[in-house]
Chains A and B, each alone.
Chain A
Amino acid sequence: MSYTAFQALVRRDLRLFFQDKRAVTMSFVAPIVIASFFGYIFGGVADDRPPSKIVVAVVNQDNSEVSGKVVAALAADAALDVKSRPLEEAREAVRGGKTTVAAVIPPGFADRAGKSFFRGGDKPEIQLLYDPSHATEMQVVRGVLMQHVMEIVSRDTLGGPSSQRVLDDALRDLDKSPDMKPADQAALRRMLQGVGEWNQRQQANPQAQANSGFSMPYTVSQEAVTARKGVQYNSMAHSFAGMCVQFILFMGIDAGMVVLYQRRSGLWKRLQAAPLSRYVIIGSRAASAAIVAMVIMLTVFGFARVVFGVRIEGSLAGFLGVCIAFAIMTATFGLLIAVLGKTPEATRGIAILVTLILVMLGGSWVPAFIFPQWLQKASFAVPTRWAVDGLDAMVWRGSGFDAALGPIGALLAFAVLFGAVAVWRFRWES
């Protein structure tokens, strides 16, 4: 009798779920749409296209040859989209969010920069006006600016038309430095004179002049370490994993809500009047929710595979294992809601809040490595973190089955905990 009843109850739950257009839309369409959107804005499918440029306004108040070269170098940089603007216009553009950073090159910049190159002292100040919501981009602009200013100022100081004047000024100042030890004075004089001699040689050879000055003492090559050599990162993979986790948990809430509504409607009286154990009722509910969760996961990842080329780069068995463990965990999460909730109305809001917190801490919205260290560690206390990490590992990191064992074990442990509490707190009456 129990098995027949169990089968019938599971079949009923599945039929009710798939007949409910709202539930199907929320569980299948919503994660696909939102994951596609997030995946796109966080990089989309990896290809050879250049990344988005940072919009920078440059206010050149110096109008010297050196500052002009700096502006030109910034404009030529692949990371920046540079526009020259007056100061107030640049400030307004940053305030309005149209420009991320504005670099203000002050009057007398070239002259003071050249002098400060050897002697420090009165350094010119380049002011960076930035949008506080883009602090990370500001750091990028700062680094790029430093590189170009150092290259251009050093080239100008060591080989440009004004270099001899700068050196003469430096030698004069050296003579006016009584506090400096004579030996140090002599050494510095020799160096400046040597630079002057070098400048004269360079000016006699314009081709060599172009290569004078400092340059970056290294070059960089980049390689995204993904599942295998040649496999490109696909940000859709993480996005689909995260949204899958979120909307399957929402489905779990709905599964719990259904129990509360059925208890209120009198349907549970029929079940209770029959010779059925609570384990059949709870178990059938959990089984149907787990089946629905698996169908959602396979459908959503199937869509990602077909449309965005998201592949299971790691262990397929590990991927299925994580999916099954998460589906079971979700089912017991729904049961927990059903047994702890009093009325559907009162329970729904709390359940959604709890789910959103779980999803947020699990790294479904933004990767967990962005969190502070303590929060990264704390987030292992929520099942969603294990689910997202497990799916990431199997889908795009290309990890083997052994890497899935931790997430599978943790998710099943949460499932056992939730299921035990559900059985313990189970009550027939509302």
Chain B
Amino acid sequence: MPLGLNIGAPVRVYSGSMLEVTGLHKRYGDLVAVEDVSFVARPGEMVGLLGPNGAGKTTTVSMIAGLLPPDRGEVRIEGGVVHGETDPVKLRLGLVPQEVALHDELSARENLALFGAIYGMRGAALASAMESAFDVAGLADRAKDRVSTFSGGMKRRLNLAAALLHGPRILLLDEPTVGVDPQSRNQIFSSLEELKRQGKTLVYTTHYMEEAERLCDRIIIIDHGKVMANDTLEAVRRLVPSVNVLEIGVENPGQDGWLDGLRAVEGVSAAAWDGSTLRVTVLDLLASSPPVLVWLNEQNYRCSHLSSQRADLETVFLTLTGRSVRNA
């Protein structure tokens, strides 16, 4: 993994917000995809948009990138609003789409050359940017190979590199680690942390809590198109200060709705089954744990193990929305 990463033009010091999103609203027929989403992102800051699939994260990013016109609201990039398809303000943005947006039939080098050229890059500047991008992706030795021969993780890394060629100051990353192996994921994380150190602004959508906890300075929890929380990681955690989570292994879980009774137990604020573990959020660990175990015993559920932990982002999401982010 290369260190001393230096992609594109240096970030100029900007006194205000690099990115200012105000009151974004998007509707598809009767479905409100995004409702009044507002936030700001500063230089060197990584903002995580956290929520389950269908929460409105991609729609929000699409509106920021200019892919979708908002019904209401405004996006300001370094104080400027994008006007029209060819507005140079768009040069300040880099987009890493959720899809692996590459040409499988072309080599990695040909792909990057194309994506650099669509930003008007050529000659020595393009060659230099491509070299740096290959370093970011850790794919310098595979530059001449066709993308179709790459693993999923390598494609994701190249997908990220393609967005960096023109030296954007703001990077929009829409679930950039979906389907990525742990090694590639760590490589992507290291690259993003380096970019952040260089002062770039990153907006990162994910439904992986641990990613948001590791990478993001600011967390925006979004569900059903609405912002449920918007603050630093610690501040978001403090939203549920006394919350504890019981993690219980259940050998014979019930059918749909089997947890409804548990949610009615006094002291239980949420309960979710992720396929292997039952996560029960309680306000008072000592007072609420016995009734939970009694209920499970009365319903003839067999428990294999039991543990408890402090609130993490998953717990916060569960508490705020009443459902697990991964099963939502």
Contact = CB atoms under 8 A, between A and B. Distances in A.
A274 B110 contact: no
Contacts of B101: 265-267, 269-270
A218 interface: no
Name A's interface SS: helix
Given A8-B118, A16-B103, A272 B88 contact: no
Contacts of A278: 85
A133 interface: no
B264 interface: no
Nearest to B122: A4
A8 B114 contact: yes
Nearest to A276: B118
Interface string B83-104: 0011111110111011111110
B1 interface: no
A369 interface: no
Given A266-B100, A267-B101, A276-B85, A429 B68 contact: yes
Interface string B28-70: 0000000000000000000000000000000000100111100
A8 B113 contact: yes
Interface in A3-19: 4-5, 7-9, 12, 15-16, 19
Contacts of A5: 117-120
A2 B88 CA distance: 12
A187 to B, nearest CB: 92
B27 to A, nearest CB: 15
Chain B CB count within 10 A is highest, among A4, A271, A428, for: A4
Contacts of B99: 265-266, 269
A269 B97 contact: yes
Contact of A267 (B67, B98, B103, B119): B103
A428 B120 CA distance: 21
Contacts of B90: 273-275
A20 to B, nearest CB: 7
A277 interface: yes
- Interface size range on A against B: 20 to 34
Contact of A270 (B68, B87, B97, B98): B97
A335 B137 CA distance: 35
A273 to B, nearest CB: 4
A206 B87 CA distance: 104
A1 interface: yes
Contact of A1 (B67, B85, B102, B120): B120
A5 B126 CA distance: 13
Contacts of B204: none
B180 to A, nearest CB: 16
Contacts of A265: 99-101
Contacts of B93: 273
B105 A270 contact: no
A275 B85 contact: yes
Interface string A270-295: 11111111100000000000000000
A4 B67 contact: no
21 contacts: A2-B86, A4-B120, A5-B118, A5-B119, A7-B117, A8-B117, A9-B118, A12-B106, A19-B105, A265-B99, A266-B101, A267-B103, A269-B95, A269-B101, A270-B95, A270-B97, A272-B66, A273-B93, A273-B94, A273-B95, A275-B119
